[in-house]
Structures are given as C-alpha cells and as structure tokens.
A and B are shown apart, each in its own frame.
Chain A
Amino acid sequence: MIVARVQQSLELFAPGKAEAPRVAPRATPSQAQLWIAVTLPSLAFECLSDRGDSQAPAVVVEAERGQQHVVAASRAAAEAGIASGTKLQTAMALEASLRVFERAPSLEQKSLESLAAWAEKLTPTVSVEAPESLLLEVAGSLKLFGSLDAIKAKLEAELARRYRDFRFCVAPTATAALWLARAASADVLQWRQLAGSLGLLPLKVTRWPPDVQALLWDLGLRTVGDCARLPRDGFARRVGRSYLLELDRAFGRSVDLRAEYKAPQSWSSIAELGEESVDSAIFIEAVEHLLDELCAELDRRQAEIVAIELAFEHLHRPPTVERFDLREPTLDRERLLRLIEDRLERIVLAVPVIALRMTSGVFRPLERSNADLFEAKPHAERASALLERLQGRFGSSAVYGLRTVSEHRPEKAWAKSPECGGQPAERESPAHEARPLWLLQKPVAIEARRDSLELVSGPERIESGWWDEQDVARDYYTAKNERGQKLWVFRDHRTRSWFLHGLFG
C-alpha cells in the first residue's frame, strides 16, 4: 500500500524535473549493486581502550558551540536516560556517578580502518564513512561466499567480536544502505522495495545540517519520502542542489560513487613497555606481541614482507633502529621471531628502552607456487632461513659461498660468493699444478725456517698482474717440514725471500 503510494508520488514528481532522468528500474544484472552499510553507534565510546568497567555509566563528550554534548554513552548511562545529543550538564544531573571521556576521533578512525582492512576479506570495495560507518559492496562476492546470508554471517561474527553495539543493513545503493542502517531498518534486496523503505525513514538519518533539517521540518516534511515527493527544481532551489543529489543517490537515480578504502601497503605498530627496561626477555615479549599483530595483518592482506625494522625508543635520545632483511618474502611468524631473537641476544643497548616500534617493509602479494607439491620450495625456504639466521647473528659478510676466478695469481684465483651458491658459477679451468686445500690469508715470511724445509716438487713459476700494480713474480714449491706438514711455499723473484702461502690439508 505504502509502497504503491510513494512510487506513485515519485511518478508524479518525476515530470517536474528537468535535469534528472525519470525514475527507472535499473536493476539490470550487469550493474546490480548490493551494499552493506555497517554503523557503529557507540564507536566513540567503544574505541577507547581505557574506558574501564563496562557496567559503570560513562559517556563520551564533544564540545560544540561552547556546550559539551554526549556523543556516545555506555549501556548503563543509556539506561539512565542519557542519549547521544544530551547536554553534559543534563547527563550529570541524570547520573551523578557518570564518568566522562573526551572524544578521540583518531582512535575512532583507527578502529574503523582496522575493520575496513578486515572487510577486504569479503569484498575489494570497502569505503570508510566517517565518523562511525563502513560501506561494503558485496554483489561481486556473492558467488565466492555462496549467498548474502553467508557474507552477513561472517560480518556479524566479526562485528560481535569487535564491538558491543553495531547494526548493518543491505540495500541496492550505498546511501540507502547507510540511511537504513542508521534507522535500524530491515534489509532491502529488491529495487522495487527501495523507494518504499526509504520513504518511511525520518529525516534525521540523512545527517543533513541542523538548519537544513529545521527548514524541512518547518515545511512540514517529516520523512525522506516527504522530500522525494517535492518538485525537484523547487527542492533544489529552496534546500540546496547537493541535498537533491543525495536523494537521487539514495533512490538510485544518480550514480553513487564512494572513495574506496585502500589499506596501507606497509604496517607499523608500537608496544609500550610501561617503564624503561633493558631486559631482553621483556623485549621478546613485546616483539611477540607485535609479530602477532603483524602476521594477522599479513594474513588478512594475503601479503608477505622482505624487511622489518625494529626501533627501540628511548626517553631522551633518538631511537636505536635495527633492520632485518629477509632473503625472500615471508609471512612466517616463527621465522621472523627467531631472526629477531638471535639479534636481540647480540645487541647491547646503551640506554633503557621505553617502547618498541615495529615497521614492516612494503607488503608484497603472497605468491604460492606449485613447487610445494614436490617439496622443493620448503627446502629452499629452510635453506634461506638458515642463511638469514647466521647472517643476522654474525653479519652478512660472515657467511658466503666460494667461487673460482680465472686468474694466475693464487690469492686472486678465488672469491667470496655472497649469493651462497644461488646460481651455479661458471666453471673455470682449474690450474694444472696441484693446489693446496688451505690458503693463507696472506703469505707469511719463512726466511728463517727455510733450511728446515725439504722441497718436494717445483718450481712452478707464476708471473702475472703487471697491469694492476699488484704484480707477482714467484716460484712456487711443494715443501715438507720436519713435522711432516706439506706446505706450499714460494720464493719472490725480486726480494729472493721465501714465503709460506698454503697448506696441503
């Protein structure tokens, strides 16, 4: 009945408008949208971490034109008759033991963003509607989750976990969903029901400025439907074009674009220690806590990281920053923890620490390769994890592979390979003469002990390097000393002196 009446009025209303198209059913499948609006009436209160006993009456207030107004109230306060918009003085009169908190918009925003980041599990189209709402477009996710009810069930479970006071509502347009949620209306799944349901909503769900609402009230308009029934050009002229546009959006007569929430591409969080400390056990506890957060975030975002920064914050000095580089992307909490633990064992902090801040490197999309099937990847991961741990503890230059270099000078015929055998090195042709398995870091003068050496084979003349001014001219011999050690010695051509350069280990 009512539906029919409103639609009829819309039809009557339509010919009067010049710029907007006639009301048309537009729910063609290709452009069908389904929005869920989540609204958190007590967010201003619930986002406060130090709000204390939930049974006690408490309110969050905000100053407006010199007057303190209640923004959100605890359940006990609500039972005492305190509602959003009540003046603080009135509230105090109603409930003497009232606890009063300042509003913290940044905490509200953070709480919403955290929810938005979670909601990206359900749909890529999430938008934050400050101060207390979230919009999700879920038409594209229906197939994935099977049904709208399945999505709603997931959403409800998460909301119940996070908040005490929440509502959500489904509608074909974003604005309609938001308004319906504010009014705690039933879901609207069909286009033809939209106008009817919206029409019944009181004007305050629009959150239009008080003077606009007062004007409409004076005109005798009580519901959204009353406004929609007015001639469009008259409404635009007397109330404002932007409000007409908002009505159009709600009724689906105009495109309703929302800024999509894009979760940040890195992550940072801080763990306060409460008091200054140098105890690494306390640090580890904080690190574990931070890693829990980080890994939950990585899991939610289906991302991996290749670097972490841990800043030890001091009271009166710039923070001590430790950086951890991973050899390959990971989201493995244990691996990150071991890496940090190893480093914590080593580092010495000059001053006590008051807080730990962990900052992740850039998130990378998770890559799952089929290699898992053949166990090749887990092995490569284990190998990388070993390198990370060793390099994390001893420094990256303390762990390396070997390669040969095509060079005649023995000390230059090998090199460290920082890749640790990542790629097979090209084969150099080995020297013809036998080389010792041990090479000394630097040749050692053995002039004094020359007589006790028995030369077994040689000489092998090596003359090379004139181009880089580190040229050598040496005769190499295999020698044996009185203890039976087999040595690789040479006589320098220019100085005629003897050196030990290697051992046949």
Chain B
Amino acid sequence: MEWNDWHAHIWRGKAATVARAVIPTGFRDLDRALPGGGWPLGALTEILADGYGIGELGLLMPALAALTKEDPAKPKKWVAWIAPPFIPYAPALQQHGVNIDRLLMIHPTSGGKNRLWAIEQAVRSGSSVGVLAWVAAADADDIVLRRLQLAAEEQGCWVLLFRPANARLQRSPAALRIHLSQAQSATRVEIIKCRGGRPGVVDVAGFALDGAASQASSR
C-alpha cells in the first residue's frame, strides 16, 4: 500500500490482523521485520534510546522525506518536532531529501505537562501528518499514552515518541516499541513490541555516516 493511501476509517478499531497503513522505512531488513512492511501510520511508535547520535534520526529520514514530499493533491500537513534536544539541522535534513518547509518546530515551556499538551494539540489538530516528540520517562504514563494512541488513530498521524531506555519497563499502548543501540557501524533496532508482528532485532547499517543521503534520494 502506498503510504498516502491510508484513511482513518479503513482500519479504525479493527483487529490487529487487518492490514494497517504503513510507510516504508526505507531499509529493507527493517521493512521485513515490521508488519505491513513499514512504520505504522495512525499509531504511536516509541523509540527508546540512551543518548543521541546513534542514528536515531537517520532511521526516520527516508520516511520523513516521503511524508513531506510536495503533492498538490493533498493538503499541506506538518511534521511537528516537539522539544527536540538539539537543533534539527536544516542543511542535513535537506541532504536526506526532507522538504523542510513542512517541518514545524515547537518548544513548549518547560514541564512535562506542557509537552504532552503540545503533542496532543499537534496530533488532534488534524494538520500534522507526523509528530516527533521527546519526552521523559516519567512524563508519559499509560493513560496519557493511550490518549495519544487514540488521537493518532483518529487523525491518521504518525506519532513518534523518543524516550529514555528506562521507559522500557513501563506499560505502553504504543503500536510499535523499539529500542535503539549502537552495534559496530550499524544502528541496532530491537523490536520490543509490535502490534501484529513479532519482536526481533534488526541491524540497520550505513545511513548515519555516508549512505543516508543516497538512500533517501533514491526513494
């Protein structure tokens, strides 16, 4: 299924066996490991990692490039970045083929409550196709995540939560939970939980240092 063929009504409230809207990750091994062959759209994905600079953004770049592509037939929607820990560097994003006009940076006033409010606004507004948010482990409990998951389903929004690795022990309604770590020159993606799929480990190589730009532009 093409990433943009999804519609909220197709799959709302259906069992996990029903084909879900996905967007290919751009990495063959990872696509194979994920049900439907890509990141689940209209759902919550948790990315657990300690530290930055281990390819956590590079992993998303092909999908972001596809999501932000200019399409006159579709309304313009944002990919919102909420409380990123550093400056998302525009020249690098462009190198990865991302259309930076569609990116919206949001820096909530400090406090977990503000962050979650901003995330929920961005998702619920229906004007974001994707939301990337950085939250602390303590900020988001099961109830909050469940609300975000429902909002994401309603709006067909790709919601990514970056959380520290210790959040792994918390319960989560997310459709997909992955843990990232560094393995040699690759990023190791451990699928902790995956609705409609099985846990597993995939090494995604070669995008962070050299291959990313070519991978992204070839899509």
Contact = CB atoms under 8 A, between A and B. Distances in A.
Interface in B94-134: 94-96, 100-109, 114, 117-118, 121-122, 125-128
B89 A421 contact: no
B160 interface: no
Interface size class of chain A, counting residues whose CB lies under 8 Å from the partner chain: 35 or more
Interface string B177-219: 0000111000000000000000000000000111011000000
A382 B89 contact: no
Given A437-B58, A438-B53, A484-B182, A504 B91 contact: no
Interface residues of B, number: 54
A379 to B, nearest CB: 4
Interface stretch (A170-178, A262-270, A388-396): A388-396
A131 B2 CA distance: 71
A421 B93 contact: no
A380 B127 CA distance: 8
Nearest to A424: B101
A400 B87 CA distance: 12
Interface of B: 51-58, 61, 70, 75-78, 84-96, 100-109, 114, 117-118, 121-122, 125-128, 181-183, 208-210, 212-213
A468 to B, nearest CB: 20
A385 B96 CA distance: 30
Given A393-B117, A404-B100, A421-B78, A486 B125 contact: no
A31 interface: no
Contact of A478 (B102, B127, B209): B209
B179 to A, nearest CB: 14
B121 A394 contact: no
A414 B209 contact: no
A437 B209 contact: no
B103 A401 contact: yes
A205 interface: no
B106 A399 contact: yes
B59 to A, nearest CB: 9
6 tightest CB-CB pairs across the interface, nearest first?
Answer: A484-B182, A503-B53, A505-B57, A485-B53, A435-B92, A414-B90
B195 to A, nearest CB: 26
Contacts of A430: 91, 94-95
Given A390-B121, A486-B209, 8 more contacts: A393-B118, A400-B105, A431-B91, A438-B57, A439-B86, A439-B87, A484-B183, A505-B57
Interface string A420-455: 110011011011001111111100000000000000
Contacts of A424: 70, 101
B211 to A, nearest CB: 10
Contacts of A440: 86-87
Contacts of A399: 104-107
B118 A390 contact: yes
Contact of B125 (A383, A395, A404, A413): A383
A421 B91 CA distance: 16
Contacts of A478: 209
